[in-house]
Structure 1
Amino acid sequence: MKISIVILNYNVRYFLEQCILTCQRAITNIDAEILIIDNNSPDDSCAMVKEKFPKLTLIENKENVGFSKANNQAVDVAKGEYVLILNPDTAITESSIREALIKAESLSNLGALGCYLMDGTGAFLPESKRNLPTPKVSVLKMAGFTKQYYTSHISEENEGMVSVLVGAYMLMKRSVYLEVGGFDEDYFMYGEDIDLSYKLTKAGYNNYYYGSVKTLHYKGESTTKNKEYLKRFYGAMNIFYNKHFQTNKLFDVFVQIGIKLASNSHRTVSEANMEYAGIQSSYVLTENLTLFGKISKVLPLELHASSKSMLQDSLYEKSLFVFDTEYLSYDQIFKAMTQLKGRGNIFRIRPPGCNFLLGSDRSDEKGSVTVF
């Protein structure tokens, strides 16, 4: 078997369904498997997988064992030469697996391969390619100076070797993953991707960023950004530094100050009041008039049924775009989102055959699910 796609889920049932559907499209004519491992989600994620994807491997944990341990569980039973660690709140294009495998096969001494991650607004996520967060770089980032934290010498759509990739999307040979011990289980959530990236480079492998492959990541869906998140994140960074760097009490004080400053600066937005604020025009790109009617009943906006030809004009602003994935491919949708990003535009996606819309209008807030 060529590749095993490992998706760790916690309580994001609708996003997980879309993720699985995009993976199934992407592995057409590829010898592949999809493994779902669930960390005791309180929603109906597992019931959905059993009902809609009965042939997939589903591992149900009876407790939330964290990101590292759960992924290691799945990789242990995976059969693929390659493993792709993928977040459940992602969506991939139809050609992405094939393109990523071709690139991985062409690279010698590959550790992990990462890709261009975009959020629900169509904006590039800079954590797709990062430098090693040494204590100095980390303290600067906590103070708001991020230039040294992210890899700026490689453009977003280019490619090249980087130090750190993001755990939302990491492709590597299963043998390499096992050789370095996989994700360190001292981390419950956050920091484990930095640690694995660093272990790969210390073992003599090269991590590689490949900007030609694009993945949508509804960043923030698996966990809401709050003070508890910040404590966990910087706690994970403490684990990383204690394992790999020599720290001192002064640095520990800086970390605690960073946590407090970041917590106090965190903004909260009322999703119910802000979701469609300022939208002046709304379009549903579909050929399915029945679907258009159903969506029109649940969205509090005047909708217009439109064809993909409208995307030839990029001069839209303050508009809602609803994409039907049975009319446009995910590749076409991602290109449209990139083209239309900013200027007050927002996006919703209807996954193939589904009765819901997904979207996220900010990278640091929980996204939306609209069932119709």
Structure 2
Amino acid sequence: MTPRVDVVVLTMNDRPKEEAFAQKTLQAQTGVEVRVCVVGNGCTPQVVPPGAITVALPENAGIPGGRNAGVDALREAGDPAEYVFFLDNDACLPRPDVLVRLVASAEEHPDAAYVQPRLTGPDDTTTPRRWVPRLRTGDPERPGIITSMTEGVVLIRRHVFDEAGGWEGSFFLYHEGLDLAYRFWSAGYTGWYAASIRMHHPLTAPIRHPLFHRLSARNRIWVAYRNFPTPLIPLYLGTWTVITLARALRMGGLRETLSGLREGWATRHEQVHRPMDWSTMRRLTAAGRPPII
């Protein structure tokens, strides 16, 4: 039977050329039945493939909130697919078998809640360290179990996504993938990095976004409070505060980073604290991601 994949694409109508190309490569996928939902985050989508579902949000709900709206619309349309694929509107699928190979990889690894392709620049080779979803980033071609997530190009089992409650909308931007990955692990699943399956994305840096420094620092605190046992929270945050401040001193954004740290600490109790159990901590450590790093 032909596998089915529901695809969510988020837009603010800010890159029509890239969106049109991304959707063209999506429509070219073979061996899989694809249904697309284009979500306008505070706008009405202007670039929409034939037959796609559209959602026009009245205001910018943030990336996780917008993606959740797309999943909801696909569910309400009836007969949801087994898998949901989240696609950045400036990413593209360079071969027509990307989705079917991702599904095959998911079938080969039934314990994986999500499957991550290798993301490269348009040259099909360059993979920045931040795009390798594990700590040991020296060889981006090495597949394996992963504990983090590159949110904009990821295939997720729908029933696991629904059971986890979807993306955490309050994050707005940054680290929502790490939070969701931790919730998958807490539910007994893993993630899989299918390094032989490539996708392309412009070689941009997150610091180009004005909110990066503040929201990244704030959301890191929220991730810890939401997911870790209380004794580990200060250890984790101590490690990441040092790392975050060092990066801010090197790359700029120190004032915004400090603002984000203050905001995250002051609002941490607004997040639901559902700590992983210690067996999940051991599994993460065995997978190469000790929960204090």
Compute the TM-score of the two structures, normalised by the length of structure 2: 0.73
- Select the residue among 146, 154, 157 that pairs with 1:173: 157
Aligned mate of 1:229, from 212, 220, 239:
212
CA distance in structure 2 between the aligned counterparts of 1:216 and 1:199, rounded to whole angstroms:
27
- The partner residue of 1:265 within 250, 253, 260 is 250
What stretches of structure 1 of length at least 5 have no aligned partner?
132-149, 268-372
Instruction: Write the letter of the residue equivalent to 2:97.
Output: S
Q: Does 1:164 find its partner at 2:163? A: no
User: For residue 221 of structure 2, what is the aligned residue in structure 1?
Assistant: 238
Question: Quick one: which amino acid aligns to residue 53 of structure 2?
Answer: T
- Report if aligned partners of 1:116, 1:212 keep a CA contact under 8 Å in 2: yes
Question: In 1, are the aligned partners of 2:117 and 2:195 still within 8 Å (CA)?
Answer: yes
Aligned residue number for residue 268 of structure 2: none
Distance apart, 1:37 and its partner CA: 0.8
State the 1:219 CA deviation: 4.6
| Distance in 2 separating the partners of 1:259 and 1:210 | 29
Structure number having the greater helix percentage: 2
Residue of structure 1 in register with 2:46 after alignment: 47
8 Å CA contact retained: 2:31, 2:100: no
Q: Which residue of 1 aligns with 2:96?
A: 94
Q: Which runs of 5+ in 2 are unaligned?
A: 75-79, 253-293
What is the 5 A alignment of 1:99-248?
A: 99-120=101-122, 122-131=125-134, 150-152=135-137, 155-220=139-204, 225-226=208-209, 228-245=211-228, 246=230, 247-248=233-234
Q: CA deviation at 1:151?
A: 3.1
Residue 220 of structure 1 and its aligned partner are, at CA, apart by 3.5
CA RMSD of superposed structures (Å): 2.7
Q: Percent of counterpart pairs with the same letter?
A: 18
Pairs within 5 Å for 1:52-71: 53-71=49-67
Change (3 A) 1:226 1:206: closer
Counterpart-to-counterpart distance in 1, 2:108 and 2:85: 17
In structure 2, the residue matched to 1:353 is none
Per the TM alignment, residue 195 of structure 1 is displaced from its structure 2 partner at its CA by 0.5
Q: Match of 2:171, SS? A: coil
Q: Is the 8 A contact 2:84 2:155 kept in 1?
A: yes
Residues 249 and 165 of structure 1: is their aligned pair in 2 closer, same or farther, counting only changes over 3 Å? closer
Query: Residue 214 of structure 1: CA displacement?
Result: 0.2
| 1:296-315 CA distance string (max 9 Å, x none) | xxxxxxxxxxxxxxxxxxxx
C-alpha distance in 1 between matches for 2:33 and 2:122 = 30
Q: What is the TM-score of this pair, normalised by structure 1? A: 0.58
Aligned-partner Cα distance in 1 for 2:96–2:239: 47
- Cα 1:209/1:63, change in 2 over 3 Å: same
Contact 1:115 1:128 in 2 (8 A): no
Q: Write the letter of the residue equivalent to 2:161.
A: Y
Residue 40 of structure 1, CA deviation: 1.9
Q: What are the Cα deviations for residues 315-336 of structure 1, in whole angstroms up to 9, with x where unaligned?
A: xxxxxxxxxxxxxxxxxxxxxx
Structure-2 change in CA distance of 1:262 and 1:120 (3 Å): farther
CA contact (8 A) 1:75 1:174 kept: no
Q: Distance in 2 between matches of 1:7 and 1:32?
A: 12
Q: Provide the aligned length of Structure 1 versus Structure 2.
A: 239
**Aligned residue among 24, 44, 47 for 1:21:** 24
Residue 86 of structure 1 contacts residue 169 of structure 1 at CA under 8 Å; is this kept in 2? Answer: yes
Q: Is the 8 A contact 2:31 2:97 kept in 1?
A: no
The Cα of 1:227 is off from its aligned counterpart by 5.0
Q: How far did residue 265 of structure 1 move?
A: 3.0
Please give the alpha-carbon distance, in whole angstroms, between the structure 1 residues aligned to 2:207 and 2:137. Answer: 27
The amino acid that maps onto 2:117 is C
Deviation at 1:166, TM superposition (A): 0.8
- Judging changes above 3 Å, is the alpha-carbon distance between structure 1 residues 251 and 195 closer, same or farther for their aligned structure 2 residues? closer
Give, in angstroms, the shift of residue 231 of structure 1: 1.3
Task: Give the 3-state SS of the residue equivalent to 1:63 in structure 2.
Answer: coil
